[in-house]
Amino acid sequence: MIVQVLQDALFAAIASVGFAAISRPPRRAYFYCAVIAAAAHSLRFILMSGDVNIVVATAISSFAAGTIAVLLSHTARTPAETCLFPALLPMIPGMYAYRSFGAMVMCILGEREAEFNHYFYLFASNGFTCVAILLGMVAGATVPMFIFKKISFQATR
């Protein structure tokens, strides 16, 4: 299990640095993006391995990522959002969105009612899961910025 957690952390860190490169933060922020992504994604992996629902695990991990970003923002000399947003991107529920879209297309193309009902169920299930994960990420990531408001706004001073 330790190897799997380290592997998950490594790939999340690599993805985070790739996403950070798109938004062009200062070079000193790349390391912090990678650290936050590795910690948050590993936490989510561990929680999900312990039979925690993906929505709850993502919300908890996003909260941890937000907390780490706020606490490290002064050291990184960048706003917490600069390191936080690229670190959250590896947790985006891409497979749920993909499956939801595929089920919607099959729902439209279905010729029988039973087939339509099956694909509509898959569309709704995957779509609601995707939206719930995204809402958990948003709530989990923004709450630490309000909790640690004083630290969050003094990061770049």
Q: What is the pLDDT of residues 88-130, one digit of tens each?
A: 888 888 899 999 999 999 988 888 888 999 999 999 999 999 9
Structural domain tally of the chain? 1
Residue range of the domain that includes 57: 2-92+134-153
Residue 11 Cα distances to 18, 58, 106, 151, angstroms: 11, 17, 32, 29
- Tens digit of each residue's pLDDT (9 = 90 or more) over 7-63: 889 998 999 998 888 888 888 888 999 999 999 999 999 999 999 999 999 999 999
> For 70-96, what is each residue's pLDDT tens digit?
888 888 788 878 888 888 888 888 899
Task: Report the helix count and the strand count for the chain, using DSSP H and E.
Answer: 7, 0
Q: Is 104 inside a domain boundary?
A: no
Residue 156 pLDDT > 60, yes or no? Answer: no
Query: What is the model's pLDDT at position 64?
Result: 94
Taking residues 128-143, what's their average pLDDT?
Answer: 93
Residue 105 lies in a domain: no
In a domain, 113, yes or no: no
Provide the residue count of the chain: 157
Look at residue 37 and tell me if it is in a domain: yes
Q: Is 127 a domain residue?
A: no
**pLDDT of the residue at 151:** 67
